[in-house]
């Protein structure tokens, strides 16, 4: 994304990608694009694929033992939709357009070190098993464990961190969507989620204990647990298909106090990791690419570093707002831990007493009651629905 925006501004750049092209274009990741992301892509001629094949979503569905309701967020808040377009398809589009515009990508080029030459105004990236690359600036878009982030934190940049104490089994199935909308199911055995990707592929999530081995979850077990938590006996069956991928995701979040300094600037997961509970990660990355491209244009084309000096101030308030909503969403979806029930996380908290009949303690009952109070407020309060809609689709 950033490479395309820089080329669009006449700025020469090279992308170092540690994996090969087949791997990069085949990785199934996020699929929800907020209205702002769609606008940025459209304005820069990068939206042909998503406009042709993306699906507009304006509602989401919540299920619990108290029934279900659909929230039409397209008619609340700012009235903005999501566009569902699998991230790997967007990545294919962006790579193809970047190459068509004359950009250079070096696949299989792993960056090992970033070193600045303060006197010469240059920065060098050492590439494992390949030739070094030098330039005026380096943009670290290489993820949470990448060289860009490591180089910045080595200078003393601090990180604010939070572990949500929750893990998900993420399942990608070759099965048509079973619901018209994104589905969030609250269950005493743990959260379950249904997210359509295409007409033939659906993403599912199952809350699971920390340390779960995906190999322990057979296809039969996955579909049985989804049926239980999505309450198919009450609301209708799921449409099954082969499981294409399964992995465990630990919900953790962090934010660097500054996403860059000097000649090294970060975007995406390199600048901060956000839990997937509100589908903000890819959209924050697009926002940061937009802001960083503008700042680099000022520095390189006009000798004006004001944009780079303001990059943190422009990014961080929006990043923290996204984190606040993601944290709130996690509290809504994940009830208190109950180690006596299979499929739940071990969690944290202190019970002042335990009911021998149910195995659930006072703190767990209190936390579960709060969870359902949040859900009931969302169902009945237009003010709450407007808050949800504005934050769910906004950056």
Active site annotation includes 184: yes
Q: Catalytic one among 85, 137, 184, 205?
A: 184
Neighbouring-strand partners of residue 195: 203
DSSP track, 73-132: GGGSTT---EEE--HHHHHHHHHHHHHHTT-EEEET--EEEEEEETTTTEEEEEETTS--
Residue 372 known to be catalytic: no
Which one of the listed residues 86, 259, 276, 336 is annotated catalytic?
A: 276
In degrees, rounded to 5, the angle at the alpha carbon of residue 143 between the alpha carbons of residues 138 and 147 is 50
User: How many CA atoms are closer than 13 Å to the CA of 23, on its beta-carbon side?
Assistant: 6
- 57: annotated active-site residue: yes
Is residue 385 a contact partner of residue 73, using CB atoms and an 8 Å limit?
A: yes
In a 13 Å sphere around the CA of 112, the CA atoms on its Cβ side amount to 8
Which tokens go with 135?
């330039």
* Catalytic residue status for 75: no
Annotated catalytic residue: which of 82, 187, 246, 280? 280
Helix, strand or coil, per DSSP, at residue 380: helix
3-state secondary structure 222-259: HHHHHHHHCCHHHHCCCCCCCEEEEEEEEEEEEEECCC
Active site residues per annotation? 57, 184, 276, 280, 392
């Amino acid at each position: 994304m950033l490479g395309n925006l820089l080329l669009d501004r006449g700025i020469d750049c090279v992308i170092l990608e540690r994996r090969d092209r087949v791997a990069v274009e085949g990785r199934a990741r996020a699929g929800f694009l907020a209205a702002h992301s769609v606008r940025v892509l459209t304005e820069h001629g990068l939206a042909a694929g998503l406009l042709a094949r993306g699906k507009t979503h304006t509602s989401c569905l919540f299920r619990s033992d108290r029934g279900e309701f659909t929230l039409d967020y397209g008619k609340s808040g700012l009235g903005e939709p999501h566009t569902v377009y699998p991230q790997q398809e967007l990545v294919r589009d962006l790579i193809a357009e970047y190459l068509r515009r004359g950009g250079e990508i070096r696949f299989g080029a792993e960056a090992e070190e970033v070193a600045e030459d303060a006197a010469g105004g240059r920065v060098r990236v050492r590439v494992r098993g390949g030739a070094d690359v030098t330039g005026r600036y380096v943009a670290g878009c290489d993820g949470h464990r990448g060289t860009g982030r490591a180089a910045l934190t080595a200078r003393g940049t601090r990180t604010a961190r939070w572990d949500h104490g929750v893990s998900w089994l993420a399942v990608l199935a070759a099965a048509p969507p079973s619901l018209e909308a994104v589905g969030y199911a609250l269950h005493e055995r743990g959260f379950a989620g249904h997210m359509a990707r295409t007409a033939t592929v659906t993403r599912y999530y199952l809350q699971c204990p920390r340390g779960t081995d995906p190999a322990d979850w057979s296809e039969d077990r996955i579909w049985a647990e989804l049926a239980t938590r999505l309450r198919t006996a009450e609301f209708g069956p799921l449409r099954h298909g082969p499981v294409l991928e399964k992995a465990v995701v630990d919900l953790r979040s962090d934010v660097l106090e500054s996403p860059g300094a000097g000649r090294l600037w970060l975007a995406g997961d390199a600048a901060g990791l956000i839990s997937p509970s509100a589908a903000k990660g890819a959209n924050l990355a697009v926002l940061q690419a937009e802001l960083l491209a503008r700042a680099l244009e000022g520095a390189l084309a006009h000798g004006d570093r004001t944009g780079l000096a303001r990059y943190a101030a422009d990014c961080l308030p929006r990043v923290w707002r996204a984190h606040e909503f993601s944290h709130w969403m996690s509290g809504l979806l994940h009830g208190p831990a109950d180690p006596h029930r299979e499929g739940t996380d071990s969690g944290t908290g202190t019970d002042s007493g335990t009911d021998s009949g149910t195995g659930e303690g006072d703190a767990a009952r209190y936390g579960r009651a709060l969870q359902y109070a949040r859900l009931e407020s969302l169902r009945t309060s237009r003010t709450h629905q407007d808050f949800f809609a504005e934050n769910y689709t906004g950056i």
